Amino acid sequence: MIIKPKTRGFICLTAHPLGCERNVEEQIAYVSKNGPISGGPRNVLVVGASTGYGLASRIVSSFGCGANTIGVFFERPADVDRPASAGWYNSIAFKKYAEGGNFIAENINGDAFSDEIKEKVVEVIKSKLVHVDCVIYSLASPRRTDPRTGETYKSVLKPIGNKFKSKTVNVDSGKIGDVELEPASADEIVSTVKVMGGEDWKLWMQTLLRENVLADRIKTVAYSYIGPKVTRPIYSDGTIGRAKEDLDRAADAITHMLSKIGGKAIISVNKAVVTQASSAIPVVPLYISMLFKVMKEKNLHEGCIEQIYRLFKNHLYGNDESRDSYGRIRIDNFELQEDVQGAVAELWNRVSTENLREITDIDDYRREFLKLFGFGIDGIDYDADVTP
Ligand code: NAD
């Protein structure tokens, strides 16, 4: 099969197995080059392990810390006439390299919100690892079925209280236009918190604790985002922000629950990066295009792997115990530096369809987006026949 990118708005319907493998190799190489992380975990469960921050967490766990991993994700395998999803290919590639390095790497494909997948993970931990000493919760999902009630909730990306009107970019055409979003209804707020809040993280940790598969002093980490003023109405002050507040509350409840084994739940606030999840948020691609430009100029640019390597090495298993006033780790510190945000704000005021390519890094945003699906990578022959 000859596999080319087929994009529809903010998704790409195809993925290239060799390109995805190359992405995983690149991230492994970054970690290997930067050296081992001492005192890291031995056995790690990553929920949401196939792309973005979760995949980077899995790679740092094995190749930085020497840990075995279980990765849970929801991905589509290949069909006779259709390639698999990028996360599927990433996970196959990860397993190949991790096992080649003599690490256990178990892939579990299914709905992380279900009781069934939680039970399956418990079984695999018991048979292969006995305990896990780190659980990374990195899910980004548009919907969740509550296993207790069977009801399905959908998350929405909307402002709360007032309409939100902002500049945005059509990534395909490069046209700058306006986006206007109506405020979320009360039900939509509740649903978004149900999907992206802390309830499921807590259910995971309750299950793992009850089944006695957590090591003493276990650390569990969930990822959050705060971001700049321009995205505040749609992010921090919007429905997703409410869900992230709920995640903060869940961290406290989980830490309390884990206190008898000396465990701790931690929120890490990460920077904005190009992932399948972030490309779906209105306004964010335009902001990221400017942020990349500014952070590269200031030599502060980081992607998922750089962020997570720093998180593990300096914070989770290092000496930097700094936390914000809510007790969160802040690896978004460079993004939110005053000079970075000042420069982005200046670009934001000036940007137009005409100067987009000149004053922002939209070209790199597009490249990074296609790269998520294994496309546009040097040395790969996209005209060659590959088996999906
Ligand atoms: P992503 O889209 O790259 O990855 C999402 C992962 O969740 C994938 O592995 C996917 O398979 C898995 N998943 C989705 N639904 C699932 C289900 N029902 N069952 C099992 N697995 C499922 O997302 P990302 O951007 O890496 O986001 C991960 C976390 O990081 C989120 O909490 C997000 O808010 C946070 N974060 C992201 C950014 C950013 O800029 N992308 C910034 C800060 C924080």
Q: Return the residue matching tokens 């606030």.
A: 269
Q: Which of 51, 331, 332 to mutate to test the pocket of ligand 1 (most atoms within 8 A of CB)?
A: 51
Tell me the CA distances in angstroms from 302 to 163, 268, 318, 331, 334, one per residue in order. 33, 15, 19, 10, 9
Determine whether the shortest distance from the Cβ of 252 to ligand 1 is under 6 A: no
What does the pLDDT look like over 104-154, one tens digit per residue? 999 999 999 999 999 999 999 999 999 999 999 999 999 999 999 999 999
Instruction: Please give the sequence-ordered ranges of beta strands (E in DSSP) within 5-155, or none if there are none.
Output: 7-8, 11-12, 43-47, 68-73, 105-109, 132-137, 143-145, 152-154
Over 90: is that where the pLDDT of 361 sits?
A: yes
pLDDT tens profile 61-111: 999 999 999 999 999 999 988 999 999 999 999 999 999 999 999 999 999
Which range has the worst mean pLDDT, 100-104, 253-257, 274-278, 350-354?
274-278
Cα separation of 38 and 332, whole Å? 23
Q: Tell me the β-bridge partners of 214.
A: 132
CATH of domain 7-371: 3.40.50.720
Per-residue pLDDT for 298 more than 90?
yes
Give tens-digit pLDDT for 155-177.
999 999 999 999 999 998 999 99
Res 320: pLDDT: 97
Report the pLDDT value the prediction gives residue 137, as an integer from 0 to 100.
98
pLDDT band for position 8 (cuts 50, 70, 90): confident
Predicted TM-score of the model (pTM): 0.98
What is the CB neighbour count within 10 angstroms for residue 363? 12
Q: Which two tokens stand for residue 7?
A: 């994009």
Lowest mean pLDDT among 109-118, 132-141, 196-205, 275-284: 275-284
Q: Quick check: 33 pLDDT over 90?
A: yes
pLDDT at position 9 over 90: no
Q: Which H/E stretch holds residue 346?
A: helix 338-350
Q: Which atom of ligand 1 is nearest to the CA of 111?
A: 19
CA angle at 361 for the pair 57 and 12, rounded to the nearest 5°? 60
Among 6-10, 355-359, 381-385, the minimum mean pLDDT is found in 6-10
* Residue nearest atom 21 in ligand 1 by C-alpha distance: 73
Sorted by where each begins, the domain ranges of the chain are 7-371
Most informative mutation of 53, 120, 246, 269 for ligand 1 (most atoms within 8 A of CB): 53
Query: Residue 109's pLDDT is what?
Result: 98
Q: Is the CB of 74 under 6 A from ligand 1?
A: yes
Q: Is the pLDDT of residue 254 over 90?
A: yes
The position carrying tokens 């004053």 is 359
pLDDT at 372 exceeding the cut of 90: yes
CB 96 within 8 A of CB 180: no
Which tokens is 104 given?
Answer: 């256990």
235 is catalytic: yes
* Secondary structure of residue 89 in the 3-state scheme: helix
Radius of gyration of the chain (CA): 20
CB 288 within 8 A of CB 257: no
pLDDT for 280 beyond 90: no
Active-site residue among 30, 235, 287, 309?
235
Note the Cα 174 to chain centre separation in Å: 25
pLDDT at 321: 95
Place of tokens 């997948």: 117
Under the banding of pLDDT at 50, 70 and 90, the label for residue 59 is: very high
pLDDT at residue 149, rounded to an integer: 97
The minimum-distance atom of ligand 1 relative to the CA of 71 is: 9
Q: Which of 195, 274, 278, 328 to mutate to test the pocket of ligand 1 (most atoms within 8 A of CB)?
A: 278
Please give the average per-residue pLDDT across 346-357, as a whole number. Answer: 97
Pairing of strands 105-109, 68-73: parallel
